[in-house]
Amino acid sequence: MSQPQPVEYAEATAQVRAVFDDIKASRNVPDVNNFWKYLARDPALLERTWESLKAVMAPGALDPLIKEMLYVAVSVTNGCGYCIASHTASARKAGMTEAMFGELMAVVGMANETNRLANGYRVPVDPAFE
Amino acid sequence: MSQPQPVEYAEATAQVRAVFDDIKASRNVPDVNNFWKYLARDPALLERTWESLKAVMAPGALDPLIKEMLYVAVSVTNGCGYCIASHTASARKAGMTEAMFGELMAVVGMANETNRLANGYRVPVDPAFE
Amino acid sequence: MSQPQPVEYAEATAQVRAVFDDIKASRNVPDVNNFWKYLARDPALLERTWESLKAVMAPGALDPLIKEMLYVAVSVTNGCGYCIASHTASARKAGMTEAMFGELMAVVGMANETNRLANGYRVPVDPAFE
Amino acid sequence: MSQPQPVEYAEATAQVRAVFDDIKASRNVPDVNNFWKYLARDPALLERTWESLKAVMAPGALDPLIKEMLYVAVSVTNGCGYCIASHTASARKAGMTEAMFGELMAVVGMANETNRLANGYRVPVDPAFE
Amino acid sequence: MSQPQPVEYAEATAQVRAVFDDIKASRNVPDVNNFWKYLARDPALLERTWESLKAVMAPGALDPLIKEMLYVAVSVTNGCGYCIASHTASARKAGMTEAMFGELMAVVGMANETNRLANGYRVPVDPAFE
Amino acid sequence: MSQPQPVEYAEATAQVRAVFDDIKASRNVPDVNNFWKYLARDPALLERTWESLKAVMAPGALDPLIKEMLYVAVSVTNGCGYCIASHTASARKAGMTEAMFGELMAVVGMANETNRLANGYRVPVDPAFE
């Protein structure tokens, strides 16, 4: 068996349960997503990733909806299927409408296109941008 | 000479000048960026790219500042030096503060990290996300 | 039928069988993986890829376990599902423990994150690194 | 001025100096690399990134040299110029010889090649890998 | 329900139907591919994408077969499963033989390999290429 | 000194000189490009890479111009500066006109855009493509 296996709450250690409990309380959900169940194979990684995510995605100069849409933009660019699915769901929960999703996708598509045009034409950076 | 060369206004055809004029008027700037001068080697590509960009980046369900930050997120993920420089400048012009840039970068970094954790642990999509 | 089809041993030409035989003998396995069966559609590509892989992955200054973990790091970064699955299996066979896999994933995640922080902050290379 | 600017020790806040001091002490170096000086624009990001990096790169199931080589493999795959330069230097400092670098590069090149062959031939995952 | 849903002809608006009709007429097919049915969620994006694609993929200095193979090369490099499947099918329809596909894949694999060797060895651009 | 250094002919071993001589004879050029001088640090890698490249880029079912354009498409997608410069030069030498370069870039840009639209809309593969 080569494929990593998830850790369910019932079989989790106290350290892992503490993280799961914090995720469930922070998000007000009855269970954690698969992502966390798989990371739980490495409790230190689980804990560090959750602590970082909680800090990074908290309201600040940018509100959580914008942060979730940025997450989707990166995940779509990288082609990470799991992340596209989970962060699109989070963005919708945070208030992303169908129209906002459409515009988000249009920007992501356009940026991926012009990134390559800039590469291929070897455009030098304008002095004003430095 | 293998490297593509920019087209300056003085040497541009009427078709290219019309696009340059529209960019300058839309953005209220005295000259277009290098990106457009290089694309001008292919007038059809120049025109199509500008028309699409104008439509995609216009205010809509998402405001221009958010769209510029999404553009930065994609460009940073792809490592496009020109695009990072130009769209960071555009985002600042549209109102991005130092604190917003910091949070944008933190989200982009985190998303690139967890995209790979999801890949490596081969996390299956939760039924709730489908 | 657009999808490439695998070549099974029974239907393979002598050239393809010779490569399959060498893979089976080198790895002491009863059959070759799907990767090789699909590449066999192009016998020259099959042969060249196998010869290169055999040379590159052989013990040298780096032992095979380290090489397999490097392979996983690249495959996870690129999001190649097949390659993640097959090289994780190979790494485990070469001795990768659960703890080693966890640390490998943590490094890969961290590197993908800081690669983007360096891009976004446009950090100039320190003179000492050149 | 659009380009992010580094924070030097003399102008740094106490929070930033504490991180810089810890980096210098941990690595026994007289000054921190540019990467940290730029991240210092966002003290929370600086601190979180350093704490994570310190934990992730510490000796564990994998020794620091292997971890640095994994970092190089990811950075080369992503084409992050700064990261390639800085982590190649770290890997050399940790004991990477010229021969080890050569084999590392050969594996990274090969993996990037076969990742795409697997994509293009749409190779299904062997049941044994799941 | 988080996953985007396709728009079928029967439920489509007049604007969407006009695009679908043009795709069917241009390609002489009885129905449009899933790609267009999903984009139809955002009629403006659908229309803009189709108009651009029609212009870009039309015969010109490069014939459609070459353009489809370039599309496959990009899609394989990015690991976009849908795009690999659909553009491999289009390339075959445009005349790509099994032998041509094999050589296309070999070039794509090789380019992805040497791109990383150039990154890792930090090869400076030869003056003759500038 | 962390940066890899090139190997010039005068200081090269017989094994390296043999490869350099073959490159110069095959391409009818007075000196090899920087890429080969850097790879020469690892003579086995140099030799294997050159032998593969020579086989892959030779005329076959696809002519050398098409192969060079495919190489450019991959390099632009990956953002490899050295490879974009060197293979654009090779493609021009093989007959790529300005108009062909323009269309090549347009296809590459478009493919990078629609790859992300397909990812973000999570478009399922049409049965006809499998």
The top-scoring range by mean pLDDT among C2-16, E48-62, F1-15 is: E48-62
Is there a domain that residue D128 lies in? Answer: no
Is there a domain that residue E128 lies in? Answer: no
Q: Does D64 lie in the same domain as D49?
A: no
CA–chain centroid gap for D73, Å, is 9
In angstroms, the CA B99 to CA B69 distance is 13
pLDDT confidence of C4, banded at 50, 70, 90? Answer: confident
Is there a domain that residue F4 lies in? Answer: yes
Place of tokens 């043999």: F18
Residue numbers of F between 26 and 55 with CB closer than 8 Å to D: 41-42, 44-45, 48-49
Chain E residues whose CB is inside 8 A of the D77 CB are 116
Nearest-neighbour CA in chain D from F71: distance (Å): 13
Residues in chain C: 130
Q: Do D106 and F42 touch (CB under 8 A)?
A: yes
- Residue ranges of chain A with per-residue pLDDT less than 50: 1
pLDDT beyond 70 at F1: no
pLDDT beyond 80 at C2: no
Look at residue A24 in the predicted model and tell me its pLDDT.
97
Alpha helix stretches (DSSP H) within C1-130: 14-27, 34-39, 43-57, 64-78, 81-93, 98-120
Look at residue B3 in the predicted model and tell me its pLDDT.
84
Query: pLDDT tens digit string along B44-96?
Result: 999 999 999 999 999 999 999 999 999 999 999 999 999 999 999 999 999 99
Q: Which comes out higher in pLDDT, residue F65 or C1?
A: F65
Look at residue D130 in the predicted model and tell me its pLDDT.
84
Return the percentage of chain C with pLDDT > 90, whole number: 96
Is there a domain that residue D109 lies in? Answer: yes
pLDDT confidence of D14, banded at 50, 70, 90? Answer: very high
Is there a domain that residue E129 lies in? Answer: no
pLDDT confidence of E130, banded at 50, 70, 90? Answer: confident
Q: What share of chain E is helix, strand, coil (3-state, %, to 5)?
A: 70, 0, 30
How high does pLDDT run on average in chain D?
96
Look at residue D89 in the predicted model and tell me its pLDDT.
96
In angstroms, the CA B111 to CA A83 distance is 8
Task: Note whether B115 contacts E: Cβ–Cβ < 8 A.
Answer: no
Q: Does F86 lie in the same domain as F108?
A: yes
Residues in chain D: 130
Q: Does B52 lie in the same domain as B116?
A: no
Among residues B18, B35, B58, which one ends one of the domains?
A: B58
In angstroms, the CA A7 to CA E125 distance is 50
Q: Answer yes or no: are the C-beta atoms of B61 and A99 closer than 8 Å.
A: yes
Q: Does D15 lie in the same domain as D35?
A: yes
How high does pLDDT run on average in chain F?
96
Is there a domain that residue F2 lies in? Answer: yes
- pTM here is 0.98
Task: Note whether C107 contacts A: Cβ–Cβ < 8 A.
Answer: no
pLDDT confidence of E119, banded at 50, 70, 90? Answer: very high
Q: Answer yes or no: are the C-beta atoms of C75 and D74 closer than 8 Å.
A: no
Q: Do D42 and B106 touch (CB under 8 A)?
A: yes
Query: pLDDT tens digit string along A74-96?
Result: 999 999 999 999 999 999 999 99
Q: Does A128 lie in the same domain as A68?
A: yes
In angstroms, the CA E61 to CA F92 distance is 14
In angstroms, what CA-CA distances link B23 with A98, B13, B70, B83, D72?
A: 29, 15, 21, 17, 41
Residue of chain F whose Cα is closest to the Cα of D88: F2
What letter would DSSP give residue A125? P
CA torsion, points F28, F34, F39, F40, in degrees to nearest 10?
A: 70
Q: Do B89 and D2 touch (CB under 8 A)?
A: yes
Task: Note whether B25 contacts A: Cβ–Cβ < 8 A.
Answer: no
Q: What is the ipTM of this complex?
A: 0.96
Look at residue D41 in the predicted model and tell me its pLDDT.
95
Amino acid at D109: G
Q: Name the residue facing D110 among C33, C52, C123 (closest C-beta).
A: C52
What letter would DSSP give residue F128? G
Residues in chain B: 130
Residue of chain C whose Cα is closest to the Cα of E99: C42
Q: Does E25 lie in the same domain as E72?
A: no
In angstroms, the CA A44 to CA C109 distance is 14
Q: Do B113 and C117 touch (CB under 8 A)?
A: no
Among residues A22, A39, A58, which one ends one of the domains?
A: A58
Look at residue D7 in the predicted model and tell me its pLDDT.
97
**3-class secondary structure, F17:** helix
Nearest-neighbour CA in chain E from D127: distance (Å): 20
Look at residue C3 in the predicted model and tell me its pLDDT.
84
Encoding tokens for residue B118?
Answer: 């999801």
Residue of chain C whose Cα is closest to the Cα of B123: C81
Helices E64-78 + F98-120 axis angle, to 10: 50
Q: Answer yes or no: are the C-beta atoms of F105 and A117 closer than 8 Å.
A: yes
Look at residue B4 in the predicted model and tell me its pLDDT.
87
Chain D residues whose CB is inside 8 A of the F44 CB are 102, 106
Domain of B72?
A: 61-130
Task: Note whether F90 contacts E: Cβ–Cβ < 8 A.
Answer: no
Task: Note whether D95 contacts C: Cβ–Cβ < 8 A.
Answer: no
Nearest-neighbour CA in chain B from F47: distance (Å): 27
Q: Name the residue facing F42 among D79, D89, D102 (closest C-beta).
A: D102
Task: Note whether D106 contacts F: Cβ–Cβ < 8 A.
Answer: yes
Q: Name the residue facing B110 among A56, A73, A88 (closest C-beta).
A: A56
pLDDT confidence of F3, banded at 50, 70, 90? Answer: confident
Chain B residues whose CB is inside 8 A of the E44 CB are 55
In angstroms, the CA A48 to CA E88 distance is 42
Mean pLDDT of D99-106: 98
Look at residue B22 in the predicted model and tell me its pLDDT.
98
Q: What is F57-123 written as a DSSP string?
A: HSSSSS-HHHHHHHHHHHHHHHT-HHHHHHHHHHHHHTT--HHHHHHHHHHHHHHHHHHHHHHHTTP
Q: Name the residue facing E102 among C41, C79, C80 (closest C-beta).
A: C41
Q: Does A112 lie in the same domain as A123?
A: yes
Q: Does B67 lie in the same domain as B48?
A: no
Mean pLDDT of D21-35: 96
Look at residue E124 in the predicted model and tell me its pLDDT.
97
Look at residue C99 in the predicted model and tell me its pLDDT.
96
Look at residue D21 in the predicted model and tell me its pLDDT.
98
How high does pLDDT run on average in chain B?
96
Q: Do E118 and F82 touch (CB under 8 A)?
A: yes
Among residues E26, E42, E58, which one ends one of the domains?
A: E58
Q: Do F105 and B3 touch (CB under 8 A)?
A: no
Is there a domain that residue F128 lies in? Answer: no
Mean pLDDT of F91-106: 97
- Domain of B124: which CATH number? 1.20.1290.10
pLDDT beyond 90 at E118: yes
Phi, then psi, of B61 in degrees rounded to 5? -70, -25
Q: Does A38 lie in the same domain as A12?
A: yes
In angstroms, the CA F51 to CA F57 distance is 10
Q: Do C122 and B84 touch (CB under 8 A)?
A: yes
Q: Do E45 and A92 touch (CB under 8 A)?
A: no
Query: pLDDT tens digit string along E33-64?
Result: 999 999 999 999 999 999 999 999 999 999 99
Look at residue F7 in the predicted model and tell me its pLDDT.
97
Q: Does F64 lie in the same domain as F52?
A: no
Q: Does F34 lie in the same domain as F84?
A: no
In angstroms, the CA A16 to CA C92 distance is 24
Look at residue E109 in the predicted model and tell me its pLDDT.
98
Q: Does A52 lie in the same domain as A63?
A: no
First to last CA, chain F: 52
* Structural domains of chain C, count: 2
Q: Answer yes or no: are the C-beta atoms of B128 and A89 closer than 8 Å.
A: yes
Alpha helix stretches (DSSP H) within A1-120: 14-27, 34-39, 43-57, 64-78, 81-93, 98-120
Encoding tokens for residue F33?
Answer: 């490009």
pLDDT confidence of C108, banded at 50, 70, 90? Answer: very high
pLDDT confidence of F63, banded at 50, 70, 90? Answer: very high
Look at residue E3 in the predicted model and tell me its pLDDT.
84
Query: pLDDT tens digit string along E89-104?
Result: 999 999 999 999 999 9
pLDDT beyond 90 at C1: no
Q: Answer yes or no: are the C-beta atoms of D113 and E115 closer than 8 Å.
A: no
Q: Name the residue facing B88 among D2, D42, D44 (closest C-beta).
A: D2
Is there a domain that residue E130 lies in? Answer: no
